[in-house]
Structure 1
Amino acid sequence: MRAARTRTTAAVLLTASLVLTGCGAGAADTAADSKGGGVAAAKPADGAARDGAPEGAADSAPGAAGKPAPKTPVQQHVIRTATLSVEVKDAAKALAAARRAATDAGGRVENETTERVEDSRLTSRIVLRVPQERYDSVLAELAGAGKLLDRSASAKDVTDQVVDVESRIATQRASVARVRKLMDRAEKLSDVVTLEGELSRRQADLEALLAQQDALRDRTTLATITLRLVEPDKQSAEEREEGRPGFGEALGGGWDALVGAAAWIGIVLTALAPWLAVALIVFVLWRRLIRPFLAARRPGAAAPAPVLPDVPRNAAGAPVAAEPAPESPAAPRPRKAPEK
């Protein structure tokens, strides 16, 4: 008798594990009804059964004041985000003020980035998380820190998603509890192994749902504000109005133009260098070798004219006879022969 009872229990456990594996999705779909309206309807049904009244009488029965009981309002869950850019004189001071505003409101600083632009001004980007009830006041304080450049805000209602996740969590917890009860009654090792695998899978699904619920709670509890702080240019207002550059900018522009022109000239000369070298070699060969060779082989070439000495001329252009050179006093004169 005891052996038959043991076999019957093992068969029931195996059948239940197969049913739980195949019908887990169906249990998740019906959990919302069992959590919201099912539990509320079960109490009137039990009370009606105890009083001997039909089930429909509990739903149609008026309240103490002759009116139906009011429904409990569903809490609304909204994700709020905002992005704004503000021009300030000192980005470091404005950044410290933004951190202080978020901390005083009960929020925190998510991340922060600061960089220097053109070695003359700072830009900062900071992400703040503040409670929903202080969202508007903190946003107005940050926008009034300087000159507002741009601003954008959005709100997303995720009430349905939050309710769905809560319902699935309740269903998954009930499913885990059922598998644990089956494990307590299991006697065979194979049944225990099968149920442990099923329990591990369902616990993993439950942990994923819990993580999703925490993320939704964080996003709906704390609003996200992304603030960008920029410093103005150092250029004076008069120069911006007149539209003329300063002496430093003019000098820098002239130097850049000179460097650019020199660079282009160097590029052109570099490109022409091979051609100029070939032209120079051809000119030297023509002047030194080819031209004299052609002149020597030309037929009937006239002899070069003798070079005449320069003849002195007077004012009228007539040639002037050259005076005889004076005799040297040291030269002896020839003696005449005596006459006979």
Structure 2
Amino acid sequence: QAEGSQADGKAGAAGEAGSGRAGEKAPPRLAPAHLIRTVSLSVQVKDTSKALDAARTATENAGGYVGDERTSRDAEGHERTEVTLRVPVERYEDVLDELEGAGKLLRREAKAEDVTDQVVDVDSRVKSQRASVARVRELMDRATELDDVVTLEGELSTRQAELEALLARQAALKDRTSLATVTLSLSETPVKHVEKKEDEDPGFLDALAGGWDAFVTMLRWLAVALGAVLPFALVAALLALLWLRVVRPRLPRRPQAPSGQEPGAGD
């Protein structure tokens, strides 16, 4: 009997322990967060065209798409491209790693906006509005008076318009939370110019280059001077030709004295 009582006691204790574990509350499940992710990247690359093609490929392979794109050139001729990428949040980090690895990362700014409350609120309002539209339609099916039908049609139009607005907002939230927005700015690496040291003596090639520059400069100035004088020289030559061919032959000639008589011999 003692052994039986001990067994009963152990069984009772085990039952109490089991019931105690069953009575424990499981931790509450957290609702999935709805985040709007945006990131801005500035990357310096050797070739913006190739880097842009690689960014397009990475985005499309991840299931996203390419949005707006702007390309410009600075005073030195370097290209700068800014493009908007929409990437699924599941592949968001993978695509960012690939974009950052295309060159030298200059800037990264990421933001995450929690819109879970908005999503839950809009979903609830959509559900309620659909039920409201269904009730109005049921009333229209039962209505027999013309005035009632007209009134219910107006009410149905109003509630359907409200439902469509809620559905549009719901779709916009879904798009912004399911696809991250990446603004990628690509700029070309500036070419470094090698500066000559001041204490470095000029060599033969430097002297030759300097002499050639001086010679070309002299020829340029001579050409400029010749171009400035040439119009006046042409006018002077034309006037001289006119004098020799037209004016001079028409001038009266002075009489010549006889060869055997000197001036003043008759006196």
- The AA in structure 1 aligned to 2:55 is A
Structure 2 CA distance, aligned partners of 1:241 and 1:81?
A: 48
After superposition, residues 107-118 of structure 1 pair within 5 angstroms as 107-118=64-75
Structure 2 CA distance, aligned partners of 1:111 and 1:329?
A: 113
Aligned to 1:233: 190
Structure 2 CA distance, aligned partners of 1:211 and 1:145?
A: 37
Q: 2:106 aligns with which of 127, 149, 165?
A: 149
- Bigger RCO of structures 1 and 2 (CA < 8 A, at least 6 apart): 2
Cα pair distance change 1:137/1:241, threshold 3 Å: farther
Aligned to 1:192: 149
Aligned to 1:136: 93
After superposition, residues 228-267 of structure 1 pair within 5 angstroms as 228-234=185-191, 236-239=192-195
SS of the residue 1:127 aligns to = strand
Note if 1:99 corresponds to 2:56: yes
Displacement, 1:105? 1.3
Aligned to 1:216: 173
Aligned to 1:201: 158
SS of the residue 1:238 aligns to = coil
Aligned to 1:89: 46
Aligned to 1:123: 80
If the length of structure 2 is used for normalisation, what is the TM-score? 0.63
Q: 1:79 aligns with which of 36, 42, 47?
A: 36
1:88 and 1:230 in contact (8 A); partners too: yes
Q: 1:164 aligns with which of 113, 121, 124?
A: 121
After superposition, residues 32-47 of structure 1 pair within 5 angstroms as none
SS of the residue 1:201 aligns to = helix
If the length of structure 1 is used for normalisation, what is the TM-score? 0.50
1:81 and 1:223 in contact (8 A); partners too: yes
Displacement, 1:126? 0.8
Aligned to 1:182: 139
Query: % of aligned pairs identical?
Result: 59
Residues matched between the structures, number: 186
SS of the residue 1:65 aligns to = helix
Displacement, 1:211? 0.6
Structure 1 CA distance, aligned partners of 2:166 and 2:96?
A: 32
Displacement, 1:232? 2.8
Structure 1 CA distance, aligned partners of 2:139 and 2:28?
A: 38
Structure 2 CA distance, aligned partners of 1:186 and 1:151?
A: 62
Cα RMSD for the two superposed structures: 2.7
**Structure 1 residue runs without a partner (length 5+):** 1-61, 252-327, 332-340
Deviations 1:59-93 (A, max 9, x none): xxx99933346544311100110001111110000
Structure 1 CA distance, aligned partners of 2:92 and 2:197?
A: 39
Displacement, 1:185? 1.0
1:83 and 1:227 in contact (8 A); partners too: yes
1:63 and 1:69 in contact (8 A); partners too: no
SS of the residue 1:165 aligns to = helix
Deviations 1:112-170 (A, max 9, x none): 12223336221111111111121112112211211222221111110001000001111
User: Which sits farther off after the overlay, 129-138 or 193-202?
Assistant: 129-138
Q: 2:130 aligns with which of 173, 191, 207?
A: 173
Cα pair distance change 1:81/1:63, threshold 3 Å: farther
- The AA in structure 1 aligned to 2:86 is R
- The AA in structure 2 aligned to 1:105 is A
**Structure 2 residue runs without a partner (length 5+):** 1-18, 199-208, 214-263
1:82 and 1:225 in contact (8 A); partners too: yes
